[in-house]
Amino acid sequence: ETNTLPFHPFENQQGDILRMEKEHQVLKEQLREAEEKLEQLQSRSLEEISTLEELLKKSIEETEVSQNELDWFHQDSEAQMKKWQQEKKENRENLKALRGTAKKHSDTNERYLKTIDDKEKQYNACLNTLLETSNKFANEKSKLEELIKKSQGDSQECEKRAVKAEVSVLQTWKETEIWKLKGIIAKAEGNLRILKALSSSASAAPVSKSQIDSWEIFISNVKKQLEKVEAEYEEKIELVKNGARDCLSKVEIVDFPCP
């Protein structure tokens, strides 16, 4: 009888323990596979979460940029919005009252079953009113969008004209200052030629070298001033063309005394 009868109380019939061990091994294998699948799912989930977080971050940044642009449009259209804001408030109150009436009708539906035709007519009337209000809002929204678009176009056109005007003013100032400095240089070079001619003439009064040097230094300083003025005005013009503001000012000019 050894090992031929069930081992009570662990076996009801011979071989139950072996079967339980085999089932236990199968369950362990299934558990291991399930754990591996769970780890794979967790890894993929972490990657997807990281990707979604990046997308969310990018979306938040784009939303912030869009919000700034939207704030500008809201400021620009605030005057138009005030006009129909009161009507919107009244329509909202009417809509709230209609919703309250609809809820009341829903709660008392059983008691007014016999008069459902009349209530249906009232509902249709309220629905028509709601549709009319909705259409009105849609038309007003379309008008506002057109006004915003037109205002944006006008703003861009004004900005272009302003830039063109500032460039024209700076160009005029530059040409004026260059003309003045070139005139000073021309007069000074004429004086310098006269002095050099006198210094080489035996019959004329003697001219000291310091006088000629002082005129040459004066001409050199004025030419440097001319280059500086031209460069600074060109820089201001480029800044204005690139969208800079507060550049409409004259370049400071040093007044060198004539020798």
In 3D space, the residue among 183, 187, 186 whose CA is nearest the CA of residue 175 turns out to be 183
Q: For residue 229, how many other CB atoms are within 10 A of its CB?
A: 21
254 contacts: CB under 8 Å, gap ≥ 6 = 221, 225
pTM more than 0.75: no
* Residue range(s) defining the domain that contains residue 221: 160-242
Asked if 158 and 217 touch (Cβ cutoff 8 Å), the reply is no
Judge whether residue 204 has pLDDT over 70: no
- Domain membership of residue 110 (yes or no) is no
pLDDT on residue 10? 67
- Domain membership of residue 70 (yes or no) is no
- Domain membership of residue 26 (yes or no) is no
For the ranges 108-112, 140-144, 242-246, 247-251, the one whose mean pLDDT is highest: 140-144
Judge whether residue 119 has pLDDT over 60: yes
- Domain membership of residue 205 (yes or no) is yes
- Domain membership of residue 67 (yes or no) is no
Average pLDDT, the chain: 85
pLDDT on residue 87? 85
User: 3-class SS at 127?
Assistant: helix
Judge whether residue 26 has pLDDT over 60: yes
- Domain membership of residue 88 (yes or no) is no
- Domain membership of residue 234 (yes or no) is yes
Asked if 211 and 192 touch (Cβ cutoff 8 Å), the reply is no
Longest dimension (CA), the chain: 158
Asked if 4 and 13 touch (Cβ cutoff 8 Å), the reply is no
Return the higher-pLDDT residue of 1 and 26: 26
Asked if 148 and 77 touch (Cβ cutoff 8 Å), the reply is yes
Contacts 24+ apart (CB under 8 A), 75-82: 76/148, 76/151, 76/152, 76/155, 77/144, 77/147, 77/148, 77/151, 80/144, 80/147, 81/144
Judge whether residue 59 has pLDDT over 60: yes
Q: What is the pLDDT of residues 141-166, one digit of tens each?
A: 989 999 998 888 888 888 888 888 98
Overall number of domains in the chain? 1
- Domain membership of residue 218 (yes or no) is yes
